[in-house]
Structure 1
Amino acid sequence: EAASAALGMGGPAVPVTHEEIRRLAMATGAAYMALQNEMNKLETSLSDSRQQLQEKQERLRRTPTLWPTDSRIVTSNYGYRQDPFTKKLSFHRGVDIAGKLDDPVYAAGGGVVHEVGYDKLHGHNVIVEHTSGLLTWYMHLNRATVRKGDLVDKGDPIGKLGTTGRSTGPHLHYEVLLGGKSTDPSGYLPMERTKEEKTKS
Structure 2
Amino acid sequence: MSNFSPDFFDSIYASTPPWEIDGPQPAISALLDEHPPTAPVLDAGCGSGDHAIAIARRGLRVLGIDVVEAAIAQARDKARALPPDAGDLLEFQVADALRPTLLERRFGAVVDSGFFHLFEQDQRDRLAEEFAAVLIPGGRLYLLEFAVEFPLPTTPRKVTDDELRARFSTERGWRILALRPAQFQSRIAPVPAVAACIERLPADHA
TM-score band by shorter chain is under 0.3
Decide which structure has greater strand share. Answer: 1
**Greater radius of gyration (CA):** 1
TM-score normalised per structure 2: 0.24
Decide which structure has greater helix share. Answer: 2
